[in-house]
Structure formats: structure tokens, C-alpha cells
Amino acid sequence: MNLEMTTLDGQASRCEADGKAIMSLIEELFPICRSITGSGLRRTLNILQRHVPLVVNEVPSGTEVFDWVVPNEWNIREAYIEREDGRRIVDFAANNLHIVQYSRPIDATMSLADLRPHLHTLPDRPDWIPYRTSYYSENWGFCLTQRQMSSLGDERYHVVIDADLAPGHLSYGELLIPGQLDETVLFSCHVCHPSLANDNLSAVAVATMLGRYIQTLRPRYSYRFLFVPGTIGSLSWLARNESAIGRIVHGLVLSCLGDAGAMTYKQSRRGNAVIDRAVAHVLRHDAATHQIRPFVPYGYDERQYCSPGFNLPVGCLTRTPNGEYEEYHSSADNLSLLRPENLAHSLGVLQQIVAVIEGDAVYRNRNPKGEPQLGRRGLYGAMGGGRAAASDQMALLWVLNLADGSHSLLDIAEQAGIPFQTIRRAADALIAADLLEIASSAP
């Protein structure tokens, strides 16, 4: 693995191109009406397949996955509310958030009083359409702006939902990048939301580009990217892959990676897994402010990966977390909320995290009694010039001092307060000078 490619300098030159590529993929995916099953979800996975060799899995409706059952497949063609004069007030064709996901078919004329319980708005945000679902209890409904709602008079309305809710399949995408080891790093994102941009097309697109990037490496670990419908999708994958779950050694759930907020990391249930430390280390040395939060059993699919029967070392990386930006779960979570530079920055942070995971190992100082004479080996001042030199010098001394077979490079980077990549370069220089040897590749 060429670690230099993952340095901030390397990223800087690719940043603009990355941002554009991610944004362009999001723009293509945005109009599609995704749900936890159905043709919109399938079309989305097919588009991702143009970028990475995604395998699309199909799980039949009715399949039992732990305590759950895969629901019927939902496909919608048309949905609207029409006045008696034939004018359409609310139309799925205008915005796919107008329909409550998993609405059953209906074609009826009814009074406003009868219609009202099926209408959902955001009274405080009169121009936004909310996002609502009813996956597991059969129902129907429309989401509309408060302004639309206010315009409804006491007349009769023609309500049409032309949808199928019938046995079919749940689809999810899986990208496997084999590494030198069977030990696997998991990246998971939910791909079931309709036209919502930050939650979660931002992460779907960033994960796709991260997958492309890792394909260009010869990684030590194997990598598994999951593009799954929330909850039922991750549960389906877990149920179908129980024997392989023990090989997952690090993991991240990704979401909300395009807004302008600072990076936020929610730790795995374990709290002190290597992934928890690696992410915290990268964020601490990244220029941006950031937040580290302890695990709570609410959020995205980390709820499933971190359930006590699995307890996988899987954290959750976002910019502004779910529910903490006001556009969340509304039509305002659209393309205008995203910035290419934020998306590229999120990708860069993930690449740095991968570099830590890939580059970490336990070394042993081959000359542990006293310091070796670095000067005659050209290691004093030989690693770089200018202001970086002092930090490089200290990195050499830290690695020599702590490379006793019990500290990983990440341990050393944390104790030294020096970025991992500098510590890693120092280790490489010491290996080249025959002063260091590998003790264990598994930290």
C-alpha cells in the first residue's frame, strides 16, 4: 500500500476532482424514489455498479431475519390528490417525498375530514415536505407543505395511489475487495431514502468513491462495503453472513457526509476498539473541529452491528448527525445542502482512517539498549527539511523508545501526540536502517 498517496498533500491535489465526482454521482441518484425494497432501490444499486463491481443480492419477501420478516416489495407508479375540478394539489410526480413510503394502493374520493388523518406536514416549516414511512404497519398517506395543507377547502378529494405491495425481494449491494488477510473492514450505509441528499446519498456516493480508492491499493485487510436498506437490510446481511461476522475487525456506518458541519464520530459499543481510536486520532490531527461521542443504542445500522449478540467494533461517522440539522428528513435535505468540498473532505478523512488501519502494526527496536547512533546513519535531519524536521526527529525517538513489541504504531502516535503518518514514516525509515523489525502485524 502506498501510504504517501493518502497524505493530506496527496489528497489536496485530488480534492477538487473528488468533490466533483461525488457530487455528480449524487445528482444522478437524487431523483430516484428509493425505499427499503423496490425498483428505485434496484436502479440505484445498478448505477453504483457502473463505478464499483457491486454484487446485488435479492432476499425474498417473507424471509425471516432474526426477529424480523422481510416485507413485501413496494413499487409505486403514480400518486396524487385531486380536487373535484381535476386540479392536482399534491403529486408524487413533483416530489417523491409526497407519498408516505409503503402506502398501500387506493383510489377513492373522500371528504377533507376523512383525508386529514392521512396528511402529514411540518407546521413550523410551511414550505418543506416531511419524509414519512410506514413499513411495518399497513397504511397510506401523503406528505405535503403546510402551505398546501392550508389551501385545502372543505370539499371532496380524489385520492389515487397506484402502487404494488406484494411479494418480491429486498435488494442490497455488497462490494468485496479482497486483501492479503481474511480479516475484514466493514463500511455500511443505508440506501433506502428517496430524494434526500445528505441523509444519505452523500454517504452512498462517498462510500462508492472510497471503494474505488481502496481498489487501487493492495490492501492488507479485506474490505466489505454494504449498501443496504436501513435496519431490515443490515439485519438481512447479518443473518445471511453469520459465519463471516467474526472476521470483521473494524467497521464504520457512514451517513450525512456532505453538509457543512464538523465531523462527528459516534464510538462503537466497545468504546475503545481500534476503529474508535483510529478515527479519534485522525480527527484530532485533522484541521477541522470535530466531536467524539460515546455509543448510544439509537441511530443508524450500528444499532444492529453493535447489538449484544454481535457487538462488532463498528462506529458511525457523520458530519452533522441525524436529527441535529433542521433540514433532516424533509424536502430541504436536497442537493443545495451539499458542497463538493465537504464531500471531498469526508472522503479524505476516510482515506486517512484507512491509512491508519492499514499501516498499524507492532514493531520491535532491534537495538533496544540505549539509543542507536542515528547521526552516523544519516537519520538526524535526513528525513525532511524545514519545519517538519523536528517532528520527524521526535517521531524517530518515539518509535525507538516504544517499539518494544507491546505498542502498536497507533499507540505510539497517540502517546507522542504526532500524526500517525509521521510515525509510520519514521518506522519505515528505521526499518530501512535495519533498526526496527516487525513484531506482529496484528496490533
Q: Which positions lie near its own copies, rule CB under 8 A?
A: 65-68, 136-137, 231, 234-235, 238-239, 269, 296-298, 303-304, 306-311, 365, 367-373, 375-376, 394, 397-398, 400-404, 416
Q: Which among 360, 361, 344, 274 has a CA at the least distance from the CA of 315?
A: 274
State the nearest-atom distance from the C-beta of 416 to its own copies, in Å: 8
Toward its own copies, which CB reaches closer, 24 or 298?
298
State the nearest-atom distance from the C-beta of 176 to its own copies, in Å: 22
State the nearest-atom distance from the C-beta of 391 to its own copies, in Å: 12
Toward its own copies, which CB reaches closer, 108 or 388?
388
State the nearest-atom distance from the C-beta of 220 to its own copies, in Å: 25
Toward its own copies, which CB reaches closer, 238 or 332?
238
Toward its own copies, which CB reaches closer, 150 or 373?
373
Toward its own copies, which CB reaches closer, 219 or 299?
299
Q: What is the amino acid identity at position 427?
A: A
State the nearest-atom distance from the C-beta of 102 to its own copies, in Å: 13
Q: Which among 179, 274, 278 has a CA at the least distance from the CA of 220?
A: 179
State the nearest-atom distance from the C-beta of 290 to its own copies, in Å: 22
**Contact 226/187 with Cβ under 8 angstroms?**
yes
Toward its own copies, which CB reaches closer, 54 or 192?
192
Toward its own copies, which CB reaches closer, 254 or 435?
435
State the nearest-atom distance from the C-beta of 392 to its own copies, in Å: 13
